[in-house]
Chains A and B, each alone.
Chain A
Amino acid sequence: MSPRNVAIICVLAFLASLPAAAEPSNTAGLSIPNTNSAINSATPLSQRVVHYEIEARYDPRTHSLDASETLTYHNLTGQPLDSFPFHLYLNGFQPTSTWVREGKREGTRGQDFEKWDPKSYGSDEIKSFEVVGQGDLTSQLRYIQPDDDNKDDKTVVQVNLPKAIPRDGYVQFRIKFHDQFPKTLERTGWDREALLAGQWFPKVGVWWHGAWNCHQFHAYTEFFADFGVYDVKITVPKYETVGASGVELSNVENPDGTKTVAYHGDDIHDFAWTASPHYREFHDVFQGSMGPVEIRFLMQPAHLGQLERHKYVTQETMRRFDQWYGPYPYKTLTVVDPEPESESFGMEYPTFITAGTGWFMPKGFLSPEEVVEHEFGHQYWYGMVATNEFEDAWMDEGINQYTEAKILDSIYGRATSFVNLWGITAGEDETDHFFYSVAGDLDPMTRNGWQFANSESYGTITYGKTAVVLLTLESIIGEDTMRQAMHTYFLRHRFTHPTKEDFLKTIEEVSGKDLRWYFNQAVYGTPVLDYQVYKVSSVPVEWYKEKLEEKKGVTEYVNSVWIQRKEDFVMPVEVQIKFDNGEKVREHWDGQDRWIRYEYRKKAKVESVEIDPDHKILLDRNEFNNSYMPEEKHAATHKLMNYYAFLSQLCAQFLSWWLV
């Protein structure tokens, strides 16, 4: 029996238990679905606060859908609740929204608005809003703006209930809504005949730390939601191939030329789906420590030659995550290769990720692999360890960037894990370091996502700096301890909403070290780390003698080496001094002072000095001044000059070829 069949049988076996599990209970007149047992495990993996039941009908001609949503909310906040905020993310795609305003000012992908294109318009319009037992409250809905004073922003709506929901009580919302999808800007929308529907339904905020946490949609922040159960039925024209979060329960053709596909997902906190007539569907199975996982690839026709690359990196990534950090408990994973040039590429949703490639993608350019690895990594750092992406973006994107470097380095080699093409290379570590070195000191990692100085700082700090900070942390506590700490953090905080201190304290606990000196500078602060070899000199001891003849191995020198801490970040470093007789000396400097001088009296001159000779401290912003050779070596410069001269000569010849 093939692994795929085993996976299918396992999934079906779980599904067989669903009717019993789905039997509703009745609490205070509400029909409360029983979601205690489900597909992924015998008992719930998360505290299931929400249960969404959505029936949506999509019209590809107008790129819009009409849907009805029943949200059952379990009040586990420990206090009565009389108001509820809801995200209406699609309203961000309107010219006066905060998302567009910030995008116009600081645009990232899909936000380079020169002029407003009507195709960019999107909306999530609530047609009716009923609270079961309390009546129709549509007229009571009020848009609120918790983060800024933009009264035109309609991405958060709030309702105040006539009657509060008691502790441990349930409330049920019945919402009818109409979505207009934009031509894909960032993450969601339509391209040609395809749709990628993310953040498409009214989603309740998270009660967190004694208050509602329901931020507006910002230009470069992501999302935050409670765990729960999703039962979603999507009706589309029958020629569409549909993929979604969770497990497909049924796929029924309707008499009107449509089909309805039903999905169930549990212990997840979001639900995304896609539909396109162009997808080519392929399957694979990953044998994880919690049983088989069926992987479904929805590929573009022109990318079929890259299917094996996608399969390989998915398998290898899942295997390493399973071994290093913990099991992937879900039964499915859908990998979507979105429409070419679409801004929906490279995005994560629970059990559903979008990849990103083009028809021409040489094997040595590992961009598709990087995207797949990164988005799968989010199944852990976002999907299961569900941090607040608005406020602690570094905890999902940054930690994920770190594990991306570890995993891709492990699969493709440290120096070649991003590019390995025609002699040109780039590794994930170096790429992260470069990313960080561009503008890594404007904001601390812990800044609220929407409050970064600009989008460049957000990207640089959240992704690049976090990865570099954690890679450097390995030099302090050791690579194995760091992996153990990540493993512990995952197992301890999966299916919860951990804070930054939960993460940092776990590392301290596992390593047994007080790392506040490091976290205060690297995580909470903005100091820059930059050490340099300030000066090197080798002076003959008998310099004063006239007609002194220096002879290698005979003449004695006083060798002096100065190391300087140029910036504010204090960190102990190793220094290696190499002499021209082959001897090497290692020094350890605590870095507390601004500089230190080492002196050696030897019958040899200093050949080179290197700070951090094991290349563990990636946080040092300038790696070029970490070493010094008293004797100049021109080869690298000449190599670059030769490349440049070649290009320049070629350019000159082309110019003359066509113009003379």
Chain B
Amino acid sequence: MNGKRGLISAGASIVNRNKRYIVWFYVFNLLFGWLGAMGLGRRVSPILNHSLHADKLLHGFDLAVLYEMMSRPEFGSRHSATGLGLVFAVLFFVLSLLFMPGVLLGYSSDHRISRDEFFRACGHNFWRFFRLFTFFLIIGGIVAGILFGIEGALAKAAEESSYELLPFITRMIGIAIIFVVLTTIRIWFDLAQTDVVLRDQVATRKSIAGGYRMARRNLGRVLGSYILIAVMADSVLALGIVLWNMIVPPASVLGAFLVSQATLLVFLAMRFWQRATAVSFYLHRAAEPLEAQPAALAVPGAIA
């Protein structure tokens, strides 16, 4: 495996071999999305379903009519109408935390792991992943807090400039730097998660330390892959929204559903691609030490 391109293509190969994980995650994502939307549906259907005025939302998207609908007393509070979606978003996160160990196990294996192996890995590693998540939250939170604080202060200072674009440019540069830094931390913890699953590591702090060392020594390669994939993901998202706007007639609910869901499916796949890239990198780096300690690996036929 040579360079960034090799890492990305190795990751793509792993994702391609294990498409079922993306499909299942997507199914949950869709299910939760629509369960969340049902709360909104219950609020708006009494207002819209019998009214001709709803045509202004169907055959176009009249912003004033939308706000007017949301200000109707029967719509209720906006928070309660839309809060359900947030609950399901959190639920999807919990589900991802629960099932990611199985995904990593599957990605590291050269054969299709059994359902039993998948769920055993999930259950076995859930609390370890929760601990890793907690560490990530602490480290990421502190770093993000400091960086956003600096970025905010710089942007505010830039507002005093007579060059009007300066605050925006400052903010964009700041966000780009924060993105790179947080992606680095994400790589660190992605490698730590992989280490926990593949080594069956009880002491998560050892995986955190190992992930840190691995990320630090090879940051350029992995970071480049991650950022490239993230840029592709953002491009897919932007393209999907543009297509949705350009080719789908305003009244075509089915068309909008298909384009939007296709976009979300591809967007989701991008994150799995990053994970597969990290697993591929981890296996490659771990190969030599593993020759000395083969028993430490918990993956059946992990290294080809």
Contact = CB atoms under 8 A, between A and B. Distances in A.
B96 A656 contact: yes
Contact of B58 (A192, A278, A636, A656): A636
B40 A192 contact: no
A468 to B, nearest CB: 12
Nearest to B52: A627
Nearest to B39: A644
Contacts, number: 202
A629 B52 contact: yes
Contacts of B48: 624, 636-637, 640
A652 interface: yes
A574 to B, nearest CB: 14
Given A624-B72, A642-B257, A302 B164 contact: yes
| Interface range for A | 35 or more
A422 B245 contact: yes
A639 B256 contact: yes
B63 interface: yes
B29 interface: yes
Given A634-B45, A653-B29, A639 B58 contact: yes
Given A652-B32, A660-B100, 4 more contacts: A434-B65, A624-B48, A637-B44, A644-B37
Nearest to A615: B53
Contact of B37 (A358, A418, A648, A653): A648
Contact of A627 (B51, B136, B256, B271): B51
B54 to A, nearest CB: 4
B297 interface: no
Contact of B92 (A431, A626, A656): A656
B67 interface: yes
Interface in A547-582: none
B61 A434 contact: no
A622 interface: yes
B155 interface: no
| Interface range for B | 35 or more
B292 to A, nearest CB: 31
Given A648-B36, A653-B267, A658-B182, A624 B160 contact: no
A610 B68 contact: no
10 closest cross-chain pairs (CB), A and B: A430-B64, A648-B85, A649-B33, A627-B52, A652-B92, A652-B89, A636-B54, A302-B164, A645-B33, A645-B37
Nearest to B85: A648
B302 interface: no
B258 to A, nearest CB: 10
Given A433-B68, A651-B89, A660-B93, A641 B38 contact: yes
B109 interface: no
A419 B63 contact: yes
Interface in A617-637: 622-630, 632-637
Contacts of A645: 30, 33-34, 36-37, 85
A72 interface: no
Given A426-B62, A635-B253, A655-B92, A437 B57 contact: no
B4 interface: no
A358 B168 CA distance: 11
Interface in A187-203: 192-193
B171 to A, nearest CB: 12
Nearest to B64: A430
Interface in A19-37: none
Contacts of B40: 640-641, 644
Contact of B60 (A278, A302, A425, A634): A425
Interface in B140-184: 140, 159-165, 168, 182
A223 B260 CA distance: 52
18 contacts: A301-B164, A359-B165, A359-B168, A426-B64, A427-B62, A433-B64, A434-B65, A608-B52, A624-B69, A627-B52, A636-B55, A639-B253, A645-B37, A648-B32, A652-B92, A658-B182, A659-B97, A660-B129
B85 A437 contact: no
A638 interface: yes
Interface of A: 192-193, 278, 300-303, 340-341, 358-360, 415, 418-419, 422-427, 430-431, 433-434, 437-438, 608, 610, 622-630, 632-653, 655-660
B293 interface: no
Contact of A653 (B45, B182, B268): B268
A633 B33 contact: no
A632 B48 CA distance: 9
Given A627-B51, A632-B49, A644-B37, A638 B64 contact: no
B85 A651 contact: yes
Contacts of A426: 62-64
Interface in B86-123: 86, 88-90, 92-93, 96-97, 100
A213 B283 CA distance: 85
B52 to A, nearest CB: 4
A214 to B, nearest CB: 38
A118 B71 CA distance: 38
A628 B50 contact: yes
A434 B70 CA distance: 10
Contacts of A648: 32-33, 36-37, 85-86, 88-89
A610 to B, nearest CB: 6
B66 to A, nearest CB: 8
Contact of B186 (A340, A637, A658): A658
